[in-house]
Chains A and B, each alone.
Chain A
Amino acid sequence: MLLLLAILVGVLYGAAVYLLLRRNIFKLILGLIFLGHATNMLLFVAGGLTSGRPAFLRGLEGEAIGMSDPLPQALILTAIVIGLGVTAFALTLVYRFYKVTKTVDFDELSENE
């Protein structure tokens, strides 16, 4: 499972970098989304995987040792929310850019006024 997730993180990062290097600004945003998700998965894997042990105790009795760590999941949750906000803003930005310049090509970003 660990190996599988590690490969998935790698593939996501690869896809993100590929998309970031495209000429189309919309694909750049897709690249940013992939990059965010790759990092969320990285946080998840780096936090340590524990299978079959839930991250909470029933009542107050029970051992905390061997339980899966809830903190990375909380961090990912925060990171997802922040990523969502930034992505929404970036999409709006690109849409406005398209409305103003009628193109989504990177060349339009250079200043030749």
Chain B
Amino acid sequence: MILVLPIILPLLFMVVLIFTRRWLAFQQGFSIFASIMLTFVSFLILIDVQQNGILAIQPGSWDAPYGITLVADLFSAIMMTTTSFVGIIVMIYSPGFIDKERQTAGYYPLVYGLLMGVNGAFITGDLFNLYVWYEVMLTSSFVLIALGGSAEQLRGSIKYVTINFVASIFFVSAIGILYGQVGTLNMADLAAKMRTWDEPMYINSALMLFFIAFSVKSALVPFFFWLPASYHTPPMAITALFAGTLTKVGVYTMFRFYSLFVVFDQQFWTIFILTLAGLTMFIGVLMAASQFDIRKILSFHIISQVGYMIMGLGIFTATGIAGAIFFTVHNMLSKTNTFLAGGLVYQQSGSYDLKYLGGLYKAKPFLALLFFIPAMSLAGIPPLPGFFGKFFLIKGGFEAQQYFITAVAILTGLFTLFSMVKIWNEAYWKKEPEEVKERGKVHPSALIATSLLAAAVILMGIFAGPVIDICLQAGEQIVNPEMYINAVLKR
């Protein structure tokens, strides 16, 4: 029954935090404790799944195709553990960064609402239930992004709410069409039925609607404009949380659906996904390189990195998927870390604009180091985890003989390095400009959180071997969907 905990616990925490909204110190302490507990539970699930195979339970005691199933395979357990770890870091970071008004206005309960939605999306085995978890997650994120209500935030949130609502509509219509045709909502049951289906038309149209919905949510190429238009508006801690979790839920769902539901026209999907992956990583990184605001560079950069993850999906071999999973985990840590380091820059120098920044390497070498580690990891410099992720993706690409996308991935790596070096040069390396904004002080809790995350990035690079092993097992499970289907339907 441990599988219900990742959903029940955040709900409980949320209730507690809502009723203690005015007691700031309690909120801060309790949410750190709660996120540690959540990570512990997710980690237990990860160990359990790794030893005993895919876990599936039926919480309502209705057997598999009728009730709502909760399933955890290795991929979902890995994603849950990483998400809740990012949660710890953000919870430590927030007291030092977010102003008191926002903190007492319900910031902490909302974060747990968000985590509940994310965890639910990771472990549900039911299509409509997945939609509900998506909405739980999105509604929390709607309020978080608008929390505080400055004009800039309101501008960002209107775009964010609209595009996500439209994407959800695509999602629900696809569920409706699929249910009308196949007559079940259990994902494993659907997958099993589709494998003996002889009418691909409706299924393909539903899959395309799903694909559009999730490519909006994970910011793939034609649908990415909302992300850099909204992510930079809330305070950095919130942006970092979004960057570390939200788009990755879209990516996760795409992996799950591709593995379970793509039974017709595999050739088409491979070419389609690889093309979009190449365009996404390349266009994302080019647009990142043309920006002058740290938050915007990093936001465009998220898009480029999603391209890498989707590339692993397009290759669809155990190595490729393992590379993509490893890359996703590394990205959740490193990307959050670069955002948090950007927040420290803001606290120190009072601006995100590269024009007003400079000389931080000389003034605060430790801050520079905290940005340098995740940035080099994202660029893929060897001892850091980004290198291993890209290495396995490229290895998978060569093995699957997808040379073109592999070449694009390598080229994009160069541009990534360029865009990271751009922030480094402008904010840390060059001389401090004449007209500086008001100087501030870095809050110790923000500094501790960022250092912890940077340490986690380094550790992931050092222990890349064991992590890759688990990712390879997870990749096997994704490539062989029968394991998932049999675990749920108990065959």
A residues within 8 Å of B by Cβ?
20, 25, 28, 32, 35-36, 39, 42-43, 45-48, 71-72, 75, 78-79, 82, 85-86, 89-90, 93-94, 96-97, 100-101, 108-109, 111, 113
Contact = CB atoms under 8 A, between A and B. Distances in A.
Interface stretch (B36-44, B138-146, B309-317, B402-410): B138-146
B180 A108 contact: no
Contacts of B180: 45-48, 72
Interface in B133-164: 135, 139, 142-143, 146, 149, 151-152, 154-155, 157-159, 161-162
22 contacts: A28-B158, A28-B162, A35-B165, A35-B169, A36-B165, A45-B180, A46-B176, A46-B179, A71-B179, A78-B128, A78-B132, A89-B139, A89-B142, A89-B161, A90-B161, A93-B154, A93-B157, A93-B161, A94-B158, A96-B149, A101-B151, A108-B155
B472 to A, nearest CB: 38
Closest 9 CB pairs of A and B: A46-B180, A43-B176, A46-B176, A97-B154, A100-B151, A82-B135, A39-B169, A39-B173, A39-B172
Given A108-B155, A109-B158, A113-B152, A72 B179 contact: yes
A28 to B, nearest CB: 6
- Residue of B139, B176, B179 ringed by the most chain A CB atoms within 10 A: B176
A39 B132 contact: no
Nearest to A43: B176
Contacts of B176: 39, 42-43, 46-47, 72, 75
Contacts of B175: 43, 75
B455 interface: no
Contacts of B154: 93, 96-97, 100-101
A20 B157 CA distance: 16
Contacts of B169: 35-36, 39
B165 A46 contact: no
Contacts of B149: 96, 100
Interface residues of B, number: 28
Nearest to A90: B161
DSSP majority for the B interface? helix
A89 B162 contact: no
Given A28-B162, A48-B180, A82-B135, 4 more contacts: A25-B158, A89-B139, A101-B151, A108-B155
Contact of B162 (A32, A43, A113): A32
Contacts of A113: 152
B177 interface: yes
Given A46-B177, A89-B142, A71 B185 contact: yes
A88 to B, nearest CB: 11
Contacts of A43: 172-173, 175-176, 179
Nearest to A25: B158
B166 interface: yes
A32 B143 CA distance: 18
A47 B151 contact: no
Contacts of A108: 155
Contacts of A97: 151, 154-155, 158
B159 A86 contact: no
Nearest to B135: A82
Contacts of B166: 20, 32, 35
Contacts of A86: 135, 139, 142, 161, 165
Contact of B165 (A25, A45, A90, A109): A90
A75 B171 CA distance: 13
Nearest to A17: B166
A89 B152 contact: no
A48 B176 CA distance: 10
Contacts of A42: 173, 176-177
Given A79-B172, A96-B149, A100-B154, A85 B179 contact: no
A82 B132 contact: yes
A46 B154 CA distance: 37
A2 to B, nearest CB: 12
A111 B155 contact: yes
Nearest to B184: A71
B148 to A, nearest CB: 11
B403 to A, nearest CB: 40
A46 B166 CA distance: 19
A113 to B, nearest CB: 7
B139 A85 contact: yes
